[in-house]
Amino acid sequence: MTNIISGKILSENKRNELKEKIAETKKIYNREPHLVVILVGDNPASVSYVRGKEKASLEVGIKNTTIIKDENITEEELLNLIDELNNDASVDGILVQLPLPRHINEAKVIKRIDVSKDVDGFHPLNVAALFSKQECIYPCTPKGIIEMLDSIHAEIEGKLACVIGRSNIVGLPIYKLLLDRNATVITAHSKTKDLAKITSQADILIVAIGKAKFVTANMVKEGAIVIDVGVNRNEETGKLCGDVDFDNVKDKVSFISKVPGGVGPMTITCLMENTFECYLKRINK
Ligand code: GUN
């Protein structure tokens, strides 16, 4: 029987818990956590993600300021804005929505964010901490995926996990988090040969490649756990769909996440948790 891992329900529970914690803390410190999101340009997917972050902030009691900048903003102007926010004591978290326009160096922008306000966990110091098993802010999507696996008490230790995708945002950090749980982890990517041969051996398959319905039944192991990170627009229906062909795969696996209602809400919930974590560290300093 197939079981759905609902990121939506898990998220709702986690947001309720977080809302209570934030309300309690606010009573003591007399201010709420403050997240600033910077959106450059009007990429429809980014606009929708940023709206989701605003809605979630409101739900849990985080102050959200979204700063929208024209896509022609210069790199220097964006860096100056980040400096201002770094120096603003009322700001606990800074998130620059990615991708940025081509004329702006993303790595430079991420590095400019004060690491104590890096709610994305993308700053090189956070990445280094993650890869050397030191205290850090975990990137939101990988953190959410591990929580989804934990919610079904998935056995990770000793299992073969395959991650399709090697991005800084998902593929690389989820590789490390699974390794830290003692899985044997394979990273597959666009240059991987015989992809289906590899993925079909995986007990846990994480798919983050950005290709609609790419993973089909022949690519998954009977009884596997499949987490779909993809968010694609189905050209025919206009609806959102994942990287996994859900209907084709669902009867072969033991657990699977859906798109929408899977990883997406968990990513945003983890962002809320990270913002609260940065706020707590800052007020306790
Ligand atoms: N674009 C897609 N996912 C993310 C994310 O997790 N953080 C940021 N900053 N941009 C993104």
Span from the CA of 252 to the centroid of ligand 1 (angstroms)? 31
Span from the CA of 98 to the centroid of ligand 1 (angstroms)? 5
Indicate the residue type of 113.
I
The CA dihedral of 112, 208, 155, 179, to the nearest 10 degrees, is -50
Tell me whether strands 93-96 and 160-164 are parallel, antiparallel or unpaired.
unpaired
Distance in angstroms (rounded) separating the CA atoms of residues 193 and 56: 40
CB 136 within 8 Å of CB 126: yes
Catalytic annotation, residues? 53, 97, 120
pTM of the model: 0.97
Residue nearest to atom 2 of ligand 1 (CA): 98
Q: Calculate the average pLDDT of the chain.
A: 97
Positive/negative CA dihedral, 96, 101, 102, 104: negative
pLDDT in tens, 140-178: 999 999 999 999 999 999 999 999 999 999 999 999 999
At residue 1, the pLDDT reads: 65
CB 159 within 8 Å of CB 165: no
Indicate the residue type of 264.
G
Residue nearest to atom 9 of ligand 1 (CA): 97
Local confidence band at 12 (pLDDT 50, 70, 90 cut-offs): very high
State the distance between the two ends of the chain, measured CA to CA, in whole angstroms: 50
pLDDT in tens, 225-273: 999 999 999 888 889 999 999 999 999 999 999 999 999 999 999 999 9
What residues does 103 pair with on adjacent strands?
none
Residue nearest to atom 3 of ligand 1 (CA): 98
